[in-house]
Amino acid sequence: MLWSLAAILSILSTEFVCCLDNGLARTPPMGWLSWTRFTCNTNCVTDMDNCISEKLFMDMADQMVADGYRDAGYEYVSLDDCWLAEIRDKDGRLQADPLRFPSGITGLVKYMHSRGLKLGIYEDFGTRTCAGYPGSEFYMQLDAQTFADWEVDLLKFDGCNSNPQDDKFGYPAMSLYLNKTGRPILFSCEWPLYEYQKQMPSNYTNIAKTCNVWRNFWDVSDSWDSIKGIIKYYGDNNALFQANSGPGGFFDPDMIVLGDFGLSYYQQRVQMTMWAMWSAPLVMSNDLRNIRPESKALLLNKRLLEIDQDPMGVMASRIWLFSNLELWLKPVMPKGSFVFVYFYSQDNGNGIPLSTPLDGIGLTDPNGYNITEVIDGQYMGIYKPSDTFKCHVYPNDVFVAKAVPLSGAFWARSKVSDWSFLEKRMKDLKLL
């Protein structure tokens, strides 16, 4: 079960023929992950409620069911680093820490599945995980089969303690081994993240053939600067990311930190909205046992979730950026509909009033549009392309609206961007 790099390359050259085809992540995955809120707290003696243990994950599962998160689409409850015992078992298999996970991973899986949820697990391509627990290097086939035997539903595969030059071999190998088990296991990769850290270029065509979701920027933290940095990075690289994202494979800007400590209510509106506009995974990292009502309302906002889970899976376009104000546009169903977002990152003042001719941002259906503000659901009225749409956006906040064409069948082509790839995707999905 110990594989050298040469052996992995030999297998890939003969068996890994085309692309990831596991039928998963047709829309961005949604769920909960422990890392940002609970990190690697293994002190279960004096902090039982907050340490990385089966109790924490069972508590979150119960809360997801009781408070409507599961029914809203949040289905994965995922372990991050530090769930492992410090050594493998006598057969070389991974094992959970026996004191913190007395039921083992199989017991935790059964707990999740009995509640209509799925379990995600964490491992690392390197010799050790980021926190120093046993990694998967030279054990990938065995570990993939172990996860399948446990009936795990998602694998987050990190890249600490490895050479990023080897990622282009290691991640496809693990993808192959997961698929060969016959169990559908969603594959979440950190492959381009480690290339980014070393200033190496990333081949997103190959990454999209290997992974269901992939991280490519620094870890999110519970701070406004972190959120703004991610938005800037995704805006500056918008065309490249947009061209390589869609059903089956999505860019992952990292966890949702709504309900934690670092963001104001308006800043939380920004994170939830922008992640939805990017068709990004919505993976919460918070304490669902103790969350503010306004944060919970945003996490469960049906209109925002519909934008994220739109079946076309298109990443929004940043149409323009001017000083602290930017405009994003995303095509969604029904046909010819768009969501547009003004994001204003100014830190002070009373915001700015905006006036927008609809045809200037690509909304050109001659029959006009029904426009609704998204977060609160306020109906704004019917607008023709030549009409001027007025709104107000506040500091560190977003204004979000959805425009649905009255004609129903008109395909709007933007004056400011090339939408031909969207038309092709809609035809591929039989939406045109």
Catalytic residues: 158, 219
How many whole angstroms separate alpha carbon 86 and alpha carbon 291? 33
- Report the alpha-carbon distance of residue 66 to residue 69 in Å, rounded: 8
Residues in contact with 275: Cβ distance below 8 Å, sequence separation at least 6, in sequence order = 253, 256, 281, 282, 308
363 near 385, Cβ under 8 Å? Answer: yes
**Joined tokens for residue 19:** 């692309």
Tokens of 332: 């969604």
Cis? peptide before 334, omega within 30° of 0: yes
Whether 51 contacts 42, CB under 8 Å: yes
Kindly provide the b/e burial profile for residues 117-147, where b requires at least 16 CB atoms within 10 angstroms of the residue's own CB: bbbbbbbbbbeebbbebbbbbbbbbbbbbbb
Q: What is the DSSP letter of 223?
A: S
* Residue whose token pair is 């490249």: 240
C-alpha R_g of the chain: 22
Neighbours of 316 (CB within 10 A): 26
Q: What gap in Å lies between CA 25 and CA 76, rounded to an integer? A: 12
State the distance between the two ends of the chain, measured CA to CA, in whole angstroms. 48
Only one residue has tokens 């890249």, namely 159
Beta bridge partners of 393: 352
**CA 396 to CA 325: how far, in whole Å?**
10
Q: What angle do CA 348, 389, 267 make, to 5 degrees?
A: 30
Q: What angle do CA 65, 179, 98 make, to 5 degrees?
A: 55
Q: CA dist 237 to 88, 111, 149, Å?
A: 41, 41, 39
- Are the C-beta atoms of residues 290 and 4 closer than 8 Å to each other? no
Q: What's the burial of 107, exposed, middle or buried (CB within 10 Å: 0-12/13-18/19+)?
A: middle
279 φ, ψ (degrees, to nearest 5): 55, 50
